[in-house]
Structure 1
Amino acid sequence: MKIPLSRLQKAFARRGIAVERVSHSYVVRRGDDSARILLPPDFELEGRAVSQLLDFAAVGWPDRPRPVRCACATPDFHPGSLAPVGSVVATDADVVIPAAIGTDINCGMRLITTGLTLTQMASHEARWTRVLTERLLHTRTDAPVPARAFRALFDDSPLACLRALGRSGVWAGTDFARLEREVRACVALDTLRADSVHAPDFLVNGQDQVRSPDLGTIGSGNHFVELQIVDAILDRQVAYTAGLRAGDVVAMIHSGSRGIGFHVGRRWIDKAKSAWPAGTSHPTSGLYALRGPAAEDYFQAMGTAARYAWLNRVVLAEWVREALEATVGAGSSRLVVDVPHNIITKEHGLHIHRKGSTPAHDGQWALLPGSMGDASYLVTGLGHPEWLWSCSHGAGRRVRRHSVRRHSSHTAAKTTEWHCHTLREERRLEEHPDAYKPIGPVIESQAEAGLIRAAIRFRPWRTFKA
């Protein structure tokens, strides 16, 4: 329900925040700090999320109070544990704020074609469902990686990692020439610097095969592997380039850096706090930045976790390919795009922090999933500088997970139009489509504001959640 602006202004004034509506967005101010939020007028402007965004806009030091150059948010904007989801923060080129992306570093989306139509896949559904359930939900994975390949991943490049992998487990049937070609379709991957010194010792020290317990796993929360159907072609040129036609089945994968992201993120959030000048009052927000050499060290640590997240999505995609090749005979899969969020990149002389938002430079593809019961989109970025060359990473939550659980009886009854495979009933409840914003206004508002152009719409078919 749309709340009148005057009522909204009064509610936020009690928090010391001024709100005005400018074109497609809200402008919020608290003292000298301001931010811009692209939000359809019917969407709730959540006080906690606004306060979190303004806290990040205010990050600095006693001797350098204003290293943040811009703070804004996309329509999937909602509160997070530290940073609001759907936020974009630009700082000076020697400054990073580790808490602005948190511990799920390079959580991102990977979209692969299957080379199959709905008709071809439906007759084999019981077989491939069984195989994918074993791999994705029972985590009966077999993704051995020699320590030398992890060292190559962190100290050299993703390509070097692929060339150092063995040929057992998931890699036995892998088309490595295809994987090497697909590295080029991974947004921002070539910009990430890394170093094995930031990785857990068990991954990089030694000569033997390493079976990392979380490599090739989805993760909890809103992460998923989902089979989707091409529902509408909105941009024929993009569809031709992506090799997609109406009725095709694709696999969308949403996962991140798992344990390594937590290892790196938590460590550097603590480091930023410990670097605060002694004898000086700490900021009331509890948020801290790093600068100079410490910021560069963080970039390497972040890049280490981010490269692991890329490899995790590669393994998940290979599980899908393996299952479909074994059960349906599909062999012509290809990567459409792999896009990051929860990452910091160096762009336009700034450090762009994206928490639950996606790079959307001019001509760059991005993926915006809805929910298990709503559409997802492949879009083309338009490179809007006022929104820091970004777009949303999806629809965004409307209801928090603990609130969904309190209304579980109502939620559980409404499952007729979506299909979720999971071993955890609470996941089905927490991730119910009603807990998410409708994707339509999220796409439309960003298109109207000049951030993106919608290219292909997908409808969900079968969702796997761990």
Structure 2
Amino acid sequence: MSQNSISDEAVEIVRMPNAAPIKMWTVGVPVEDAARQQLINTARMPFIFRHLAVMPDVHLGKGSTIGSVIPTRGAIIPAAVGVDIGCGMIATRTTLAAADLPDNLHGLRSAIEQAVPHGRTVGRGRRDEGSWENPPESVNALWGQLLPRFQRLVEKTPSLRNTNNHKHLGTLGTGNHFIEVCLDEAEQVWFMLHSGSRGVGNAIGSRFIELAQADMRQHIANLPDRDLAYLQEGSAHFADYLEAVAWAQDYARCNRVAMMSNLITAARRVISKPFTIDVEAVNCHHNYVQKETHFASEVFVTRKGAVSARRGELGIIPGSMGARSYIVRGLGNPESFCSCSHGAGRVMSRNEARRRFTVADQERTTAHVECRKDKDVLDEIPLAYKDIDAVMHAQRSLVEVVHTLRQVVCVKG
């Protein structure tokens, strides 16, 4: 088996037998061998349209690689979309300046933590502290908008009724989900957060991954990976999946809107100076699928850890909890299917980060940020992520930087 790699200043092209080409915007950033093999596995699926586009934050994922753009005709791979359907970012600029923030930022972090449920607790008879006990009216109003379509989903999949849906709306979750207060290059204050479709999105994604695998049970042994099981257009579950995934993506967008509203309210309780929110706000998915037109063809585009970057479109590329983040404007590069990275990307697993680093390392690398600095967030230490500057340089043909943000407060679940 041979591999032919052609490199220029921006793109590496990988060609393998019986596979679509793989175009990688990864020059200057590390790509693990296992992620490369996973990309090749995906590229061998018969319904890939033209080529895979790989972003510089690429790393190993479940089924398909995180940081990849997968265009398909006539089929969708549910595991490529994943279980955190619609996960993404929202950011907004305020009229506050750095000097308007309190000298001690711990009070601001505490106010945000009290206003937005985060983390997760489990156990018999215990309420998950990462959900609402009694959702506020603002959350109830958003849930009211989502409910009619959800009820239609429940008619088809009754198990969704018992998911944590209403009480998860407006909550953060765990892992790499976060809320940040940031400063831009002009010392203006921004609010930014990262989350998705929470428990109900996980249930939807898991259910349709199972259905895809069940539908292909006679052929699954022939797949490079069982998590590449797909739903064919026109099959029994394909339309149901599109309906469910579209709803979960809308839920994720509403989830971020609800959290941003409560974040702003919490900040107003702590910051004495009155402020307003700038119109420059961005709310974008980076785990999702939708129908788009590329190269004069209608195709399904799955972005698994990638952001839409059509010409003039604003997006968000966060670094780690100790590195800067970027508000970007898309350049509409057709070869990337008008996409860019969704972050810095991990260079090691969460377990490896916990093994390798100490709380002292976490304290040192986040010394400039008001945030948790304990063993339970070691998996999110900045050293577990790629160099965000190298990632941005590698995708200079995909986006241009509009604002550079550095965080001063970070809330993790």
TM above 0.5, yes or no, is yes
> What does residue range 369-380 of structure 1 map to in structure 2 within 5 Å?
369-380=318-329
2:292 aligned with 1:342: no
| Closer, same or farther: CA 126–374 of 1 in aligned 2, 3 Å | closer
More off after superposition, 65-74 vs 452-461: 65-74
**Secondary structure, counterpart of 1:421 in structure 2:** coil
Q: Give, in angstroms, the shift of residue 421 of structure 1.
A: 2.7
Match of 1:90 among 64, 71, 76: 71
Deviations 1:142-196 (A, max 9, x none): 5346888636325479xxxxxxxxxxxxxxxxxxxxxxxxxxxxxxxxxxxx956
2:276 aligned with 1:332: yes
Letter in structure 1 aligned against 2:407: P
**Secondary structure, counterpart of 2:51 in structure 1:** strand
2:32 aligned with 1:55: no
Deviations 1:395-430 (A, max 9, x none): 1112221111112236345245332534x8334311
Unaligned runs of 5+ residues in structure 2 are 119-128
* Mapped contact 2:109–2:411 kept (Cα < 8 A): no
Quick one: percent identity of the two aligned structures? Answer: 30
**Secondary structure, counterpart of 1:351 in structure 2:** strand
Q: Give, in angstroms, the shift of residue 47 of structure 1.
A: 1.0
Question: Match for residue 121 of structure 2?
Answer: none
Letter in structure 2 aligned against 1:371: S
Match of 2:161 among 171, 196, 201: 201
Deviations 1:190-241 (A, max 9, x none): xxxx9564683258xxxxxx9833222212221100110012xxxxxxxxxx
Deviations 1:253-309 (A, max 9, x none): 000111011100010111111112747854131111112233222111111211111
Letter in structure 2 aligned against 1:56: T
* Mapped contact 2:344–2:388 kept (Cα < 8 A): yes
| Closer, same or farther: CA 413–365 of 1 in aligned 2, 3 Å | closer
* Mapped contact 1:132–1:323 kept (Cα < 8 A): yes
Question: Match for residue 312 of structure 2?
Answer: 363
Q: Give, in angstroms, the shift of residue 25 of structure 1.
A: 2.0
2:232 aligned with 1:291: yes
Question: Match for residue 102 of structure 1?
Answer: 82
- Measure the CA separation in 1 of the matches of 2:11 and 2:165: 47
Alignment size in residue pairs: 386
Question: Match for residue 406 of structure 2?
Answer: 459
Letter in structure 1 aligned against 2:411: F
- Measure the CA separation in 2 of the matches of 1:153 and 1:400: 35
| Closer, same or farther: CA 202–402 of 1 in aligned 2, 3 Å | closer
TM-score (normalised: structure 1): 0.76
Q: Give, in angstroms, the shift of residue 383 of structure 1.
A: 0.9
**Secondary structure, counterpart of 1:339 in structure 2:** strand
2:62 aligned with 1:122: no
- Measure the CA separation in 2 of the matches of 1:77 and 1:385: 19
**Secondary structure, counterpart of 1:374 in structure 2:** coil
Question: Match for residue 168 of structure 1?
Answer: none
Unaligned runs of 5+ residues in structure 1 are 1-12, 60-64, 158-193, 204-209, 232-245
- Measure the CA separation in 1 of the matches of 2:370 and 2:104: 17
* Mapped contact 1:155–1:196 kept (Cα < 8 A): no
Letter in structure 1 aligned against 2:34: R
2:172 aligned with 1:218: yes
TM-score (normalised: structure 2): 0.85
- Measure the CA separation in 2 of the matches of 1:147 and 1:464: 24
* Mapped contact 2:165–2:200 kept (Cα < 8 A): no
**Secondary structure, counterpart of 2:167 in structure 1:** coil
**Secondary structure, counterpart of 1:74 in structure 2:** strand
> What does residue range 128-139 of structure 1 map to in structure 2 within 5 Å?
128-136=108-116, 137=118, 139=130
* Mapped contact 1:72–1:87 kept (Cα < 8 A): yes
Q: Give, in angstroms, the shift of residue 367 of structure 1.
A: 0.4
Match of 1:230 among 159, 167, 184: 184
- Measure the CA separation in 2 of the matches of 1:280 and 1:380: 41
Letter in structure 2 aligned against 1:333: I
Question: Match for residue 38 of structure 1?
Answer: 25
* Mapped contact 1:375–1:460 kept (Cα < 8 A): yes
- Measure the CA separation in 2 of the matches of 1:358 and 1:308: 18
| Closer, same or farther: CA 274–68 of 1 in aligned 2, 3 Å | farther
> What does residue range 5-20 of structure 1 map to in structure 2 within 5 Å?
17-20=3-6
Q: Give, in angstroms, the shift of residue 124 of structure 1.
A: 6.5
More off after superposition, 300-309 vs 119-128: 119-128
Question: Match for residue 301 of structure 1?
Answer: 244
Letter in structure 1 aligned against 2:350: R
